[in-house]
Amino acid sequence: MVDWEIEGRQIGICSCAWGCPCQFNAPPTMGYCHASGAIHIDRGHFGAVSLDGLSYVTLYRWPGAIHEGNGEAQYFIDGHGTPEQQRALVTVLSGEESVPGATLFSVFASTLTRVHEPIFLPIEFTLDMEKREAHFAVNGIVDGRSEPIRNPVTGEVHRVGISLPNGFEFTSAEFASGTLRSNGTTINLDLVARHSHFSRLHWTGRGIVRG
């Protein structure tokens, strides 16, 4: 297995209600899962290839719960990367260079029946975890935005998060309200005021680096 490591920040948006039942091993809110994730790599490598400063965006669509399978995926890889960096990210996303079941990439890959050809384009990524504000975009094709969850009576910011000590994606995350639109791609999504989360990530092919 190629030695790789990624430290970075993640924005996730999905079709579930705020909180996302999947985090509790419960069925998805709507009976299906449509989702997107954006990752900015602050520091990383794949073998001798540096991944520092790169981003990628994923679109997923499952007809039922994720673990029931038959999903499809579309990956957008940072167009500013070199061909070697882009190939490295595609390989990481495939889950092929992970211990089976140890990483998000390996777990998701086992549930997919169709993975579309990756698209290489510039990616925008901004995240203020303290304010619970985030935005990612891919060249007018994908646009995701997150804002704080607010009290329906007072309008005040309602801060909430989760701790998953044994999680395979993250060990803790802040929750928010997300809006996502993707058009002109193989997976067109339109989500408004749905679940969003932010997390700091530290992954290798053997899973989350804990402690």
Q: What average pLDDT is seen over the chain?
A: 96
| pLDDT band (50, 70, 90) for residue 45 | very high
Query: What is the rounded average pLDDT of the residues 149-170?
Result: 95
Q: What is the CATH number of domain 4-208?
A: 2.40.400
Within a 10 A sphere around the Cβ of 74, how many other Cβ atoms?
Answer: 23
Query: What is the rounded average pLDDT of the residues 46-60?
Result: 98
Query: Two tokens at 24?
Result: 């509790």
Find the Cα–Cα–Cα–Cα dihedral 147, 15, 114, 96, rounded to 10°: 50
The predicted pLDDT at position 128 comes to 96
The predicted pLDDT at position 75 comes to 98
Would you say residue 211 has pLDDT above 80?
no
| Domain extent listing, the chain | 4-208
Q: Angle CA(155)–CA(158)–CA(164) in degrees, nearest 5?
A: 160
Would you say residue 59 has pLDDT above 90?
yes
The predicted pLDDT at position 184 comes to 87
Cα–Cα dist 209/204, whole Å? 7
Query: Two tokens at 169?
Result: 């994606």
The predicted pLDDT at position 93 comes to 97
